[in-house]
Structure 1
């Protein structure tokens, strides 16, 4: 399955939410890891919001990092990606499905 870096294309549920497995979600997030350090920064998260048609990407990027960055280093790393699920559901219209 190929992901575009400009939009999230996958199964759309009846309520209009995009559905991804956790593996697909992680792989998609990493397409925005522009410096290839294995972490998502505030600016990279801002690009994710913009790419999905979100408004106020600067504010939402900051909110997303704040909610997911449990160790306070300013990045979302592999161990914290699951913390982005709520943010992705609320701000990106993504539902993570079990598979």
Structure 2
């Protein structure tokens, strides 16, 4: 589901996604909170960013600790899947 004129999400490779995740983790605790996701979604002009962040957390937080653990591959994979579904643009490396 593409949003706001985005025809295909730009996700890049695994390294690009991990770099993006680390930039989303603004307090550098190794976890992505609902508030951090909401800020990113709001910045990309998504409607209802709080609701969408909550849904992302619900899908990706497999151990139910209230955050997405960057170190857990299964949680990262679920978040990446949901990011593609939403059409979130994640910059590709220029290397």
Give the TM-score category using the shorter length: 0.7 to 0.9
Looking at structure 1, the residues matched to 19 and 31 of structure 2 have their Cα atoms a distance apart, in angstroms, of 12
**Candidates 59, 62, 66, aligned match of 2:51:** 59
Match of 1:11 in 2: none
Which stretches of structure 1, 4 residues or longer, exceed 3 Å deviation after superposition?
92-95
Count of paired positions: 81
Match of 1:92 in 2: 87
Q: Does 1:34 align with 2:26?
A: yes
Where structure 1 has 5 or more consecutive residues not aligned to the other structure, the ranges are: 1-14
**Larger RCO of the pair (alpha carbons < 8 Å, separation 6+):** 2
Q: TM-score, normalised by structure 1?
A: 0.73
Instruction: Tell me how large the CA RMSD over aligned residues is.
Output: 1.7
Choose between structure 1 and 2: higher strand proportion: 1
Where structure 2 has 5 or more consecutive residues not aligned to the other structure, the ranges are: 1-6, 91-95
